[in-house]
Structure 1
């Protein structure tokens, strides 16, 4: 073997070594059946806050048998409510935020062509935020790098076959006529996932090589993904799409299938400049799609500043530039840079899955409060699209009276 070939072969060795290490990390982070467990629980005060009612109302429902009390630990103390128990409480107490049958499900694409902006981190945290709030959520990983799939507890190399991704539906020779085949349950009872892996990228190759009728093939795939997601979305309140960070066929199909667009960007000059280029490119592409008779319609387009360090003067300066440039399209509350998010990611989790703080309790509480406020802005946009604002809390109504 020549020296150059030997060097090139190292790439495969590095990939193989990396895949084995990911599998080791997965086995440490996940349960033996290769699925993460969800052990997070909520105390009665937090449950009442999430349901928008008083703790007395929950206790009364437990006393009269409408709700089972949460399990007790060895010391006799209540362990708190699981996510599944919270969902049951919402049904019993009429506190579900689910859309009305006539409301259009929110199909949100989380997109930026610039890597490193926290796209997959925003996607997974947004999914889990909506789950905690009681919505039915579907996450669709459209990126062959499959970071979102990994964060949901699946190893894309070992656990996911090409036939379990979007590939059988979008390929030149499709073997599936709808997307139900690809939907996988996650440890969250109200969150499902369509996973991805590296082989999904084959769709890009196939469509690029589709020959003289390439444009009509692309248009057909765009319409097909939109229709497939619209059919699937009937079972959900919110669908979150994580497209590849590049202007390829799948990205374009996702942009056309979505009915809302969320653009995360970090507070650095390169990220700002890259995002401006992304928006300019999107404007041109959408114009071309519309000219080709392909509909693109968003209920909202918003930018959210991710990984924001309030103690870094350069971040404050760039955020000020963002505010001047984008105005109300930039969500007012940024996602703060936090060690708690980094620590959770190391365990292939989100902050919402942590049973207890990894760092200090103060850091964890501050991080979770910020995520709730930042991601709650997107919930408000969804509910506004349904013609509703967030329901008033029972205690707030009583105090107002």
Structure 2
């Protein structure tokens, strides 16, 4: 009698692969905890580059790996608040009350559903007028910095999500932080305006916050099918060198869908390629921070390179 046929196929079917990926994302493999809280401003004056998406997903990934994380939504559109499932209609206490009214930041912070260890300071539409109202206030550039210092949040990381502009809200974020994370979209127009962002960072360093530095650059919306994406990535890596994360965030429909359900991709579809990439990016950031604390000189970039060296 002949032997029964037994498949020798070793590749898992797609559903099994996604399930295995989800286990890796949701499983508990703690990230290294920094020796002190690290305040990171996520900034890029160009809209649509994945700034908010990066802030909320990296924050969620870190919280899911045992770190305590706070996201400060400084964009009047409130997209970070939406993605984290935090109510932010006009009557909700928000970062506006912190900046303009001097309300304690700890009173405004809200726990993020389904992600223990993650909190959000929401933004409401009131923040749209804050740029004008801040002009007449004392110490207008450092009100967020003072609020964070007085709150003494029990956070390992604070991510500040900025609006796509270089106004007083973004200046407050740059003054409050020691690190800048710049998401750069792998598209033709991605590098436009980046020089102005770096010049503004240098101005803040020179006059308001000498500790500020660009610590991380992350490539987003990468499409490996195009030569353009690879060219942009090469240009960015050539200029920013080791500050660019090894992990690249691909174009992924699950990343785009998640905010409409009030979630990050980390909880919406933990088996997706987008979730796995943001988990990897968050791990890189945490591990680089841990290594930097043990090194005599932290890797950083001040934006002082000559204009001729820039790819934009």
Same fold (TM over 0.5): yes
Q: Give yes or no for contact 2:205–2:212 (8 Å, CA) kept in 1.
A: no
Match of 1:193 in 2: 120
User: Comparing both structures, which one devotes a greater share of its residues to helix?
Assistant: 1
1:290-337 residue CA offsets vs partner (Å, 9 max, x unmatched): 2xxx33313652211111111111111121122222222222321111
Q: Secondary structure at the match of 2:76?
A: coil
Q: Secondary structure at the match of 2:163?
A: coil
Q: How do 1:211-222 residues align onto structure 2 when only pairs under 5 Å count?
A: 217=138, 220-222=139-141
Match of 1:166 in 2: 95
Find the aligned partners of 2:152 and 2:288 in 1 and give their Cα distance: 18
Taking a change above 3 Å as real, the CA distance of residues 321 and 259 of structure 1, as seen in their structure-2 partners, is same
Match of 2:239 in 1: 325
Would you say 1:50 and 2:32 are equivalent positions? no
Match of 2:278 in 1: 371
Q: Please list every run of 5 or more consecutive structure 1 residues that lacks an aligned counterpart in the other structure.
A: 1-40, 52-94, 358-363, 389-401
Match of 1:381 in 2: 288
Match of 2:215 in 1: 301
What is the CA-CA distance between 1:47 and the residue it aligns to?
A: 8.8
Quick one: which of 189, 194, 202 aligns to 1:275?
194
Quick one: which of 313, 338, 342 aligns to 2:227?
313
Would you say 1:205 and 2:183 are equivalent positions? no
Q: Give yes or no for contact 1:98–1:135 (8 Å, CA) kept in 2.
A: yes
Taking a change above 3 Å as real, the CA distance of residues 283 and 269 of structure 1, as seen in their structure-2 partners, is farther
Select the structure with the greater relative contact order (CA < 8 A; seq sep ≥ 6).
2
Q: Secondary structure at the match of 1:303?
A: strand
CA RMSD of aligned residues (A): 2.8
Q: Secondary structure at the match of 1:126?
A: helix
TM-score normalised by length of structure 2: 0.79
Find the aligned partners of 1:297 and 1:371 in 2 and give their Cα distance: 27
Find the aligned partners of 1:49 and 1:198 in 2 and give their Cα distance: 37
Q: Secondary structure at the match of 1:112?
A: coil
Q: How do 1:26-37 residues align onto structure 2 when only pairs under 5 Å count?
A: none
Over 4 Å off, 4+ runs: 41-49
Number of residue pairs aligned between Structure 1 and Structure 2: 276
What is the CA-CA distance between 1:139 and the residue it aligns to?
A: 0.8
Taking a change above 3 Å as real, the CA distance of residues 122 and 47 of structure 1, as seen in their structure-2 partners, is closer
TM-score normalised by length of structure 1: 0.62
Greater Rg by CA? 1
Q: Please list every run of 5 or more consecutive structure 2 residues that lacks an aligned counterpart in the other structure.
A: 1-18, 296-312
Match of 1:337 in 2: 251
Q: Secondary structure at the match of 1:269?
A: coil
Match of 2:165 in 1: 246
